[in-house]
Amino acid sequence: MNLSIPIELIENSCHDLSVRRSIVTEQRILSPGQLAAEVRRLTSTPAEWVARVRLDPEGRWYERIHVSDRYEVWLISWLPGQSTGFHDHGGSAGAFSVVWGALDECVAPRSGGRALVTQVTAGDARAFGPRYVHDVRNPAAGSVAVSVHAYSPPLSAMTRYDLTSGGLVVAGTEGEDDW
**In the chain, domain spans:** 28-178
pLDDT tens by residue, 128-163 = 999 899 999 999 999 999 999 999 999 999 999 999
Residue 145 contacts residue 78 (beta carbons within 8 Å): yes
CA 136 to centroid of chain Cα atoms: 11
* Percent over 90 (pLDDT), the chain: 73
Q: Quote the pLDDT of residue 107.
A: 95
- What is the average per-residue pLDDT within 64-77? 97
The Cα 81–Cα 160 span in angstroms is 19
The candidate with the shortest Cα–Cα distance to 135, out of 81, 174, 62, 69, is 81
Is 32 in a helix, a strand, or coil? helix
pLDDT at 18 over 60: no
Give me the chain's average pLDDT, please.
86
The Cα 69–Cα 62 span in angstroms is 20
- Entry field: residues in the chain: 179
Measured CA to CA in angstroms, residue 55 lies from 51, 77, 121 at distances of: 12, 6, 19
**CATH architecture classification, 28-178:** Sandwich (2.60)
Q: How confident is the model at residue 27 (pLDDT cuts 50, 70, 90)?
A: low
Q: Quote the pLDDT of residue 176.
A: 87
pLDDT at 20 over 70: no
Across 2-6, 40-44, 135-139, least confident range: 2-6
